[in-house]
């Protein structure tokens, strides 16, 4: 049972008690409505925070990993993803690419390159719609199944990794994930690389510790240069420590 279902049971019980107290005129109306006033903001917060694990289980850190885990969302991109792959190969790094189904259809050869590079591939929905969180369970399932089918057709391997668009979750997405038995991967460091400046992005990446999962996008023009600088400085730091 998810935290959402447990909280819903408690919420309904409190509403029932509040209703009885109001009918019996033991409490004023505002106190009886307190569960509703507190519960609604909790639902909004939990929906926007994937790692709250309120609606579904999500891995937001890799405690067994000695290094960090880089993840890239929204690809594949015809120009940026290949450049990112070259940088990862140069520094002998592996990552997870959470790809959008409609982009996979456009650039299947790039998905093959991701696989050939020894990286993992995950599902990031088919459309990456801004209204994904409003989809019914059946529609979410169709999106995930369609993208999974594309990944399997191109790579020859079944996919079980999923990251919700925008990191937003709700009961419908939770039911779809459970129905398809998918493993949700979140993050511990969100770089906001779609809106932040390169120095700010790099600063956040440098704070990463062993087991951290970093969220990046292989659709941003500055991603390759940021990656190059990050690995270059990281390698120099490691060399200095050895010396």
| Positions marked active-site | 73, 217
Query: Do β-strands 120-123 and 69-73 pair in parallel, antiparallel, or remain unpaired?
Result: unpaired
Give the torsion through C-alpha atoms of 194, 196, 200, 201, to 10 deg: 0
Closest CA to 103 of 190, 217, 215, 179: 217
User: Burial letters for 194-233: b for 16+ Cβ neighbours within 10 Å, e otherwise?
Assistant: eeeeeeebbebbeebeebbbbbbbbbbeebbebbbebbee
Ranges of H-type helices in the chain: 3-23, 29-32, 34-48, 80-90, 101-106, 108-116, 137-155, 171-180, 198-206, 223-242
Q: Per DSSP, what are the bridge partners of residue 101?
A: none
Q: At what angle do helices 223-242 and 198-206 cross, to 10 degrees?
A: 40
d(C-alpha 193, C-alpha 170), whole Å: 25
């Amino acid at each position: 049972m998810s935290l959402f279902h447990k909280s819903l049971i408690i919420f309904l019980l409190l509403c029932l008690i509040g209703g009885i107290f109001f009918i019996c005129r033991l409490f004023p109306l505002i106190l009886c409505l307190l569960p509703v006033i507190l519960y609604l903001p909790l639902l909004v917060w939990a929906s926007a925070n994937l790692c709250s694990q309120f609606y579904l289980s999500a891995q937001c850190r890799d405690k067994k990993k000695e290094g960090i885990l880089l993840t890239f969302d929204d690809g594949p991109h015809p120009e940026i993803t290949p450049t990112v792959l070259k940088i990862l190969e140069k520094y002998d790094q592996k990552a997870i690419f959470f790809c959008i189904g409609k982009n996979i259809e456009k650039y299947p050869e790039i998905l093959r390159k991701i696989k050939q590079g020894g990286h993992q591939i995950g599902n990031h929905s088919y459309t990456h719609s801004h209204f994904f969180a409003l989809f019914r369970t059946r529609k979410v399932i169709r999106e995930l199944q369609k993208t999974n089918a594309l990944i399997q057709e191109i790579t020859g391997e079944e996919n079980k990794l999923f990251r919700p668009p925008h990191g937003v979750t709700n009961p419908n997405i939770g039911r779809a994930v459970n129905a398809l038995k998918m493993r949700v991967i979140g993050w511990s460091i969100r770089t906001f690389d779609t809106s932040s400046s390169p120095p700010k992005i790099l600063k956040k990446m440098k704070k990463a510790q062993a087991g951290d999962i970093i969220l990046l996008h292989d659709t941003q023009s500055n991603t390759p240069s940021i990656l190059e600088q990050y690995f270059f400085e990281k390698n120099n730091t490691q060399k200095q420590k050895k010396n």
